[in-house]
């Protein structure tokens, strides 16, 4: 069947060719096949392949199919079911050269089953769990006829004011790079050609997470060393893991928009890194070159983008409109267009679409009877991954876990919030299928107790914010207020709390508050939620805060008020069950923060691995003229790598196998970790290294390894890390990647601050 399809394709190509070869190139030879096809394409057909369109409910399908059949579209995104995509592929098969379409989508943390947001996935520090989430997302997406995801998003984010912090994996280069690799492999499986694998397009290339002031779409200005050292490695890791695509960032880099950046797209990506995949612009980014002020008009924008090597233009018509004229006038060359077309066809080839255009679309008779059926979800896996991603920040007097026999009142605007559970970029997830905290706790209690509930507060009393959040959503209002006055909501909650043994308050952000275009100047909980917490605290009842949010918040006061705090981020379809598992002790929390929690917005950035400074602040010795803000405690509220468990762990002193390392050797650093508490539990043992003196200033420490270990109550284990020269390398002022001889401090801890240290010399 496949052979036949291939044969007819080859015959079709030959019979319609413009300058046809007598013998069609064999499909087994990618380069020859693509070249042969390109020889037969008209200029318009080539340019058509460079067009990637978004399919919206408002778009007339008939017209799109006509355009496809005319060879004017290379791929779509946002059209996500087999019955929707099949007619488009049929239209492509009616086109002169029968070049298949591809279908893409933002599958960021799950497709139909929504897993925790990426920041939460990173909090698990569990590469198997993260990989599983990606694998399931790929399978579900491919089963819905999708070929490509615009993920993973591996932008390092060190400024939580940026709303897209939720979409990335945190502040640390090493951790994000590890996850980047895992995600690419999970999406692409054993080979892109597989029917249940999808192509990964790593984004946003590059440095999008470093937008000035955390304000979305803002500029980025960064030294080359910082780029190479801190921000670029995750993209590189994804590409080295085989990512077939790259999505180019909307921001500028040192004065040149990424979309027109020859250094970024040609010198770095293609020449230095050897990327051979498909570079796609972000939404409307080519047109935005005019807004950036580097192109006078659409013509110049198209020229800059094609010259830079942006192969596909997402949702604008500039390539179709301008490339023919630019070619005619000699402002661009045929090779500029051909290189782009080669990338698109190459990606389609790699995804197996030339062999079988219906590889992921399948046959109509096999379409799911109900696309939205619950049986298509992977609930058990989502629940397990979600509970691994929860971070216990505080647990005074062992307030948690809760007894199922307790009289519990659940309050807060996020207790019954199915949309928010999914977080932003929730792909094809359906709110009706997500388990809220109320549902999860009710189920966990069964008939052992009744869960009392009072809303207590809306997300915010600021109408402007509500309007903004609802404006972002096209289908239905995301934030629905309880119309009662704020005080009435609080009074009701307090009354219920007074009857209870313990209060659980689900507070935080609505999902839209941590999204694209949702930068904030203030990271406090909204004022009305803070009022609620204050009133609850005044009841004197034990108070558990369940935080739901897509970025670190500034919770200094609430941290004092609460007896226990569980950071749950936005935990996905099974979030309510997963959180209940932790609240009731059916799962012992094991997550660790992948990003520091600042005490205040004024402290940002608070990332742990900052450069050493000449006048460092020394805890316990404040004094003047050291680097600090004198009006607050120095350092984050909760550091990178931090997270508690219901059991306790102790770490022995570290043992180093040698105090010297030569260039070809290895040092073993080990500690004994013991579970000294009464419950089985998991923790993450983290390895940090500091290069004490170098030819340039080095960070105070950098994560270089970690292991998540499960220990039964009372059990101990020796954890080993192997250190070699590669782990000590960095980019110097000449951007040479090398290690320098000298003293290195090795630290091992259960977070980035409380560590045990030893030193060795690199010879």
What residues make contact with ligand NOJ under the rule CB under 6 A? Answer: 106, 150, 203, 247, 282-283, 516
Looking at beta carbons only, is 312 or 533 nearer to ligand NOJ? 312
Is 12 in contact with 98 (CB distance < 8 Å)?
yes
Instruction: Please tell me the distance from the alpha carbon of residue 359 to that of residue 362, in angstroms, as a whole number.
Output: 6
Q: How far is Cα 497 from Cα 538, in angstroms, rounded to an integer?
A: 10
Of 45 and 106, nearer to ligand NOJ (C-beta) is 106
Q: Given the complex with ligand NOJ, which of 156 and 400 has the nearer CB atom?
A: 156
**DSSP code per residue over 265-329:** IIIIIIIIT---SEEE--TTTTTHHHHHTS-SSHHHHHHHHHHHT--BEES--HHHHHHHHHHHT
Q: What share of the chain is helix, strand, coil (3-state, %, to 5)?
A: 35, 20, 45
Q: Between residues 247 and 441, which has the closer beta carbon with respect to ligand NOJ? A: 247
In this structure, the number of other CB atoms found within 10 A of the CB of residue 194 comes to 16
Nearer to ligand NOJ, 25 or 247 (CB): 247
* DSSP conformational letter for 145: T
Nearer to ligand NOJ, 232 or 312 (CB): 312
CB of 694 to ligand NOJ, least distance (A): 36
Nearer to ligand NOJ, 107 or 504 (CB): 107
3 state DSSP class of 411: strand
C-alpha of 355 from chain center:
32
**Nearest distance in Å: CB 13, ligand NOJ:** 32
Complex with ligand NOJ: residue 106 or 691, whichever CB lies closer: 106
- For residue 624, the minimal CB distance to ligand NOJ (Å) is 45
Q: How far apart are CA 17 and CA 687, in angstroms?
A: 60
Rounded Cα distance between 749 and 649, Å, is 11
- 527 contacts: CB under 8 Å, gap ≥ 6: 460, 461, 462
In degrees and rounded to multiples of 5, residue 290 shows phi and psi of -70, -45
Least distance in angstroms from the C-beta of 569 to ligand NOJ = 19
Q: Tokens representing 414? A: 């996020």
Task: Assess contact for 121 and 382: CB atoms under 8 A.
Answer: no
Range 515-530 burial, b when 16+ CB lie within 10 A, else e: bbebbbeebbbbebbb
Per-residue CA distances from 321 to 44, 54, 299, 325 (Å):
10, 18, 8, 8
Q: Can you count the helices (H) and strands (E) in the chain?
A: 23, 27
Q: How far is the CB of 745 from ligand NOJ (least distance, A)?
A: 39
Task: Map residue 597 onto helix, strand or coil.
Answer: strand
Residue position matching structure tokens 């040609």: 266
Q: Pseudo-torsion of CA 582, 583, 584, 589, nearest 10°?
A: 30
To the nearest whole angstrom, how small is the minimum distance from the Cβ of residue 149 to ligand NOJ?
Answer: 9
* Least Cβ distance, residue 64 to ligand NOJ (angstroms): 17
In the complex with ligand NOJ, which residue's Cβ is closer, 33 or 205? 205
Exposure string of 635-659, with b = 16+ CB inside 10 Å and e = fewer, is: bbbbbbbbbbbbbebebeebebeee
Catalytic residue annotation: 282
Q: Which residue is nearest to ligand NOJ (CB)?
A: 150
Q: Is the dihedral of CA 564, 570, 576, 579 positive or negative?
A: negative
CB of 301 to ligand NOJ, least distance (A): 17
Considering the complex, what minimum distance in angstroms separates the CB of residue 33 from ligand NOJ?
29
664 class by beta-carbon count within 10 Å (0-12 exposed, 13-18 middle, 19+ buried)? exposed
User: Exposure pattern of 438-464 as b/e (b: 16+ CB <10 Å)?
Assistant: bbbbbebbeeebebbbbbbbbbbbeee
C-alpha distances out from residue 431 to 8, 388, 424, 476, 510, Å: 44, 22, 12, 12, 13
Other Cβ atoms closer than 10 A to 401: 20
From CA 15, how far away is CA 8, in angstroms rounded? 10
CA distance 520 to 613: 29
- Choose between 30 and 283: whose C-beta lies nearer to ligand NOJ: 283
Q: Are 506 and 410 in contact (CB under 8 A)?
A: yes
Least gap, CB of 203 to ligand NOJ (angstroms) = 6
Q: How far is the CB of 207 from ligand NOJ (least distance, A)?
A: 14
Helix (H, G, I), strand (E, B) or coil at 436: coil
Q: Which is nearer to ligand NOJ, 282 or 420 (CB)?
A: 282
Taking the least distance from each CB to ligand NOJ, the nearer of 211 and 746 is 211
* Shortest spacing between CB 47 and ligand NOJ, in angstroms: 21
């Amino acid at each position: 069947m496949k052979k036949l399809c291939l044969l007819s394709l080859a015959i079709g190509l030959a019979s319609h060719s413009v300058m046809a070869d007598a013998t069609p190139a064999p499909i087994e030879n990618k380069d020859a096949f693509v070249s042969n096809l390109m020889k037969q394409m008209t200029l318009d057909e080539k340019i058509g392949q460079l067009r990637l369109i978004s399919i919206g409910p408002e778009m007339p399908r008939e017209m799109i199919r006509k355009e496809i059949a005319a060879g004017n579209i290379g791929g779509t995104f946002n059209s996500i079911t087999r019955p929707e995509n099949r007619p488009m592929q049929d239209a492509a098969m009616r086109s002169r050269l029968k070049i298949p379409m591809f279908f893409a989508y933002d599958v960021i943390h799950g497709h139909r089953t929504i897993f925790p947001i990426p920041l939460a996935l990173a909090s698990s520090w569990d590469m198997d769990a993260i990989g599983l989430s990606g694998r399931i997302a790929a399978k579900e997406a491919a089963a819905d006829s999708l070929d490509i995801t615009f993920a993973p998003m591996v932008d390092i984010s060190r400024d939580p004011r940026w709303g897209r912090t939720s979409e990335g994996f945190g502040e640390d280069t090493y951790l994000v790079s590890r996850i980047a690799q895992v995600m690419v492999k999970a999406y692409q499986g054993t080979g892109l050609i597989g029917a249940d694998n999808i192509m990964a397009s790593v984004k946003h290339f590059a440095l999008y997470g470093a937008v000035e002031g955390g304000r979305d779409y803002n500029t980025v200005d960064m030294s080359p060393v910082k780029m190479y050292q801190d921000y670029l490695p995750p993209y590189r890791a994804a590409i080295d893991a085989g990512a077939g695509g790259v999505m180019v960032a909307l921001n500028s880099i040192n004065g040149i928009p990424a979309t027109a950046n020859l250094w970024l797209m040609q010198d770095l990506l293609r020449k230095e890194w050897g990327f051979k995949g498909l570079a796609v612009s972000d939404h409307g980014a080519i047109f935005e070159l005019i807004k950036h002020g580097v192109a006078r008009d659409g013509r110049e924008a198209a020229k800059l983008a094609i010259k830079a090597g942006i192969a596909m233009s997402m949702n604008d018509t500039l390539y179709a409109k301008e490339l023919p004229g630019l070619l005619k006038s000699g402002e661009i060359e045929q090779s500029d267009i051909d290189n782009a077309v080669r990338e698109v066809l190459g990606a389609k080839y790699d995804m197996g679409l030339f062999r079988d255009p219906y590889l992921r679309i399948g046959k109509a008779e096999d379409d799911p009877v109900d696309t939205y059926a619950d049986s298509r979800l992977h609930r058990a896996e989502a629940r397990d991954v979600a509970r691994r991603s929860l971070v216990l920040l505080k647990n005074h007097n062992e307030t948690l876990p809760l007894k199922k026999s307790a009289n519990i009142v659940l309050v807060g605007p996020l207790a019954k919030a199915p949309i928010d559970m999914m977080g932003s970029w929730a792909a094809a997830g359906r709110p009706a299928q997500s388990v809220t905290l109320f549902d999860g706790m009710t189920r966990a209690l069964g008939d052992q107790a009744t869960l009392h509930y009072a809303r207590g507060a809306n997300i915010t009393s600021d109408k402007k914010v509500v309007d903004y959040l609802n404006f972002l959503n096209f289908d239905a209002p995301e934030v629905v207020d309880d119309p009662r006055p704020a005080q009435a909501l609080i009074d009701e909650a307090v009354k219920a709390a007074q009857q209870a043994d313990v209060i659980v308050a689900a507070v935080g952000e609505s999902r839209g508050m941590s999204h694209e275009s949702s930068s904030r100047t203030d990271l406090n909980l909204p004022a009305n939620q803070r009022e609620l917490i204050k009133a609850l605290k005044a009841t004197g009842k034990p108070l558990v805060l369940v935080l739901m949010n897509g970025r670190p918040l500034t919770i200094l006061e609430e941290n004092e008020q609460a007896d226990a705090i569980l950071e749950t981020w936005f935990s996905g379809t099974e979030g309510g069950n997963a959180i209940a598992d932790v609240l009731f002790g059916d799962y012992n929390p094991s997550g660790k923060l992948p990003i520091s929690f600042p005490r205040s917005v004024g402290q940002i950035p608070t990332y742990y691995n900052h450069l050493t400074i000449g006048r460092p602040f020394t805890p316990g010795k404040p004094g003047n003229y050291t680097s600090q803000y004198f009006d607050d405690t120095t350092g984050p509220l909760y550091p990178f790598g931090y997270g508690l468990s219901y059991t306790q762990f102790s770490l022995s002193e570290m043992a180093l196998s040698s105090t010297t390392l030569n260039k070809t050797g290895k040092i073993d650093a080990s500690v004994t970790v013991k579970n000294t508490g009464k419950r089985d539990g998991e923790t993450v043992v983290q390895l940090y290294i500091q290069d004490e003196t170098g030819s340039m200033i080095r960070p105070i420490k950098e994560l270089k390894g970690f292991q998540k270990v499960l220990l039964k109550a009372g059990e101990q284990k020796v954890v080993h890390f192997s250190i070699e020269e590669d782990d000590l390398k960095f980019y110097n002022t000449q951007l040479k990647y090398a290690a320098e001889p000298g003293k290195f401090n090795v630290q091992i801890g259960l977070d980035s601050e409380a560590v045990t240290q030893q030193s060795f010399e690199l010879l």
